[in-house]
Structure 1
Amino acid sequence: MTVPAVPAVPPGPPGRYRLAAQLRLLGVRPGQRLLVHAALGGTGLRAETLRDALRGLLGPHGTLVVPAFTMENSLTSTAHLTRVAGLGENETAAFRARMPPFDPARTPCPGMGAFAELVRTTPGAARSDHPQSSFAALGADAHRLCAEHRTENHLGEDSPLGKLCWEGGQVLMINVGFSACTAFHLAEYRIPKPLLRMYDCVVKVNLPEGRRGGPHEGAWTRYEDVALDDGDFEEIGRAFPDSLMRRGRVGGASAVFFSIQHAVDHALAWMTENRR
């Protein structure tokens, strides 16, 4: 009896099933709540193929989560300051007056990359309501994880990130460094007496029925929350024990997989010792 030959892997971008095999080696399993950071530029990975491979592997009881941040909705973020750089005082004021309010159903998240934007726009996706630090999700727990994300809680215990941590969520980072590790921010909320600051953003305001301008218009609002600082995240990541991570490849890109709880515990210990 002749044993049929195993077909060769076709050249070109990796397919869904090859990606699934690589993701399994990293530790992705059915039923997980998985937070994914991915920068696909130059990797040969297609966002749709990666999404489908992850959803197929996570299965009907798993949940795929991505950051859908809108940092440009701000007065002080680097993203916003870059947009108004070179404008005069009157031009800056006019630009800010025209800024649309955050709408979880429509506002894009271009700074998060093609993969996050694809997840956000996939039919059935949920998105949290935070005007600067929202998350988008697909899967069994998507709507519950994204619900009740208060403005005064960017990335704390009541945010989707906090819920993921409490519920045993995992992180998959593809082609990104630890400067993008959102999980470390949760540690900033757990530091005793964390430093606070004021934030500004444009939010939707309900108008009286019949008033011109449509059902919603924007208004600037200020709120206080923990002063988030990712300036030392790469250093925190370098100190993250290899024993708590799995490293590998997804397509042609480097990838790392770890527990959110392990990341937060490590970051909290590091910040307590090294931040002043």
Structure 2
Amino acid sequence: MTQPLPHKTATLATDLRELGLAAGDTVLVHSSMRAVGSVAGGVQAVVQALLDVLGPDGTLVVPTHMPANSDPAGWENPPVPPEWWPVIREHSPGFDPDRTPSRWMGVLPEVVRAWPGARRSGHPQVSFAALGARAATVAGTHPLEDGLGDGSPLGAVYRADGKVLLLGCGHDRNTSLHLAECRQTRPSITEHGAAVHEPSGRSRWLTWTAPLADASDFAELGAAYEALSTAQPSPGVTDPTASPVRIGRVGNAESRLLRQRPLVDFATDWLNRHRS
């Protein structure tokens, strides 16, 4: 049986345009390269396809989070002995936007992070990298206590009326829903800790409080958003006659493209009604 030919930069770009991505867009991408399938040139070709579609006036944004740079007292998979905690806090090299790789975000964000001209925000746990015309605006500032809120790159994408691309993954990976979480009247607040790399070459342990990130109901939330129709206009949907989510194939990957602003507005209301 003949194997299908691998996908190419040009064919992936065609898929992205048919899905609705356009020149000049600001788009936050979550991705699964495994779902995309075989690509001539691998992940570099996928990033190039995104940049070719966005053009010089567009901006590509990806999560470059470091969840492992956290207080070891809260580690569970696996937990570490209490006598290790001070050693980890004191001797971790610390987050450096230029050196520290993202973790558990997939391979595509790492390629974007290292791409010439990319900007990475300075949050030690939930940084984002941006590449393109609005990179400095998206990733230029990132308050420690507002890692996923309006002062974060998520808020910058919202103000730019950007889009979200779920490339072979679902709403359980959709970090924009954390922006809605932070907008709750009384979000759950928890303590955080992380090591940061200082210009002197030493690391410093920081602690702060911020809303708790909980994605356990994001798949349900995303399904509710996708179920919107003209018969059921909902908060946050500015044009109820249009489908809020475009679904199609990019390579082999079932993918979703949607505007972030109406999604976050809907999710803010949904979370307020469904979470105690």
TM-score, scaled relative to structure 1: 0.87
Structure 2 residue 94 is matched with structure 1 residue 101: yes
Partner of 1:7: none
Between the two proteins, what is the percent identity of the paired residues?
Answer: 36
Partner of 1:53: 49
Distance 1:101 1:92 in 2: 15
Would the aligned equivalents of 1:183 and 1:260 in 2 still touch at CA under 8 Å?
Answer: yes
Partner of 1:151: 144
Residue 188 (structure 1) shift: 1.2
Partner of 2:135: 142
What secondary structure sits across from 1:41 in the alignment? helix
The one-letter code of the counterpart of 2:141 is E
Would the aligned equivalents of 2:181 and 2:268 in 1 still touch at CA under 8 Å?
Answer: yes
Distance 1:128 1:66 in 2: 11
Distance 1:145 1:231 in 2: 27
Would the aligned equivalents of 2:63 and 2:128 in 1 still touch at CA under 8 Å?
Answer: yes
Q: In terms of mean alpha carbon deviation, does 192-201 or 128-137 score higher?
A: 192-201
Partner of 1:237: 222
Partner of 2:124: 131
What secondary structure sits across from 1:90 in the alignment? helix
Structure 2 residue 38 is matched with structure 1 residue 44: yes
Matches within 5 A, 1:185-264: 185-206=178-199, 215-242=200-227, 243-264=243-264
Residue 114 (structure 1) shift: 0.6
What secondary structure sits across from 2:249 in the alignment? strand
Residue 96 (structure 1) shift: 3.9
Runs of 5+ consecutive residues of structure 1 not aligned to the other structure? 1-9, 207-214
Residue 81 (structure 1) shift: 3.8
What secondary structure sits across from 2:208 in the alignment? strand
The one-letter code of the counterpart of 1:161 is L
What secondary structure sits across from 2:209 in the alignment? strand
Would the aligned equivalents of 1:75 and 1:81 in 2 still touch at CA under 8 Å?
Answer: no
Residue 92 (structure 1) shift: 4.5
- After superposition, give the CA deviation of every residue in 1:119-175 in whole Å (9 maximum; x if it has no partner): 001111100001111000111111221011111111111111101111110001111
The one-letter code of the counterpart of 1:183 is S
Residue 11 (structure 1) shift: 4.3
The one-letter code of the counterpart of 2:214 is D
Provide the aligned length of Structure 1 versus Structure 2: 256
Would the aligned equivalents of 1:172 and 1:255 in 2 still touch at CA under 8 Å?
Answer: yes
Would the aligned equivalents of 1:71 and 1:77 in 2 still touch at CA under 8 Å?
Answer: no
Residue 111 (structure 1) shift: 1.1
Runs of 5+ consecutive residues of structure 2 not aligned to the other structure? 228-242
What secondary structure sits across from 1:34 in the alignment? strand
Distance 1:122 1:159 in 2: 21
Residue 77 (structure 1) shift: 9.2
What secondary structure sits across from 2:207 in the alignment? strand
What secondary structure sits across from 2:265 in the alignment? helix
What secondary structure sits across from 1:247 in the alignment? strand
Residue 88 (structure 1) shift: 3.2
Structure 2 residue 160 is matched with structure 1 residue 175: no
Partner of 1:210: none
The one-letter code of the counterpart of 1:266 is F
- After superposition, give the CA deviation of every residue in 1:186-230 in whole Å (9 maximum; x if it has no partner): 101221132211111112345xxxxxxxx2211211101112211
TM-score, scaled relative to structure 2: 0.87
Partner of 1:27: 20
Structure 2 residue 10 is matched with structure 1 residue 17: yes
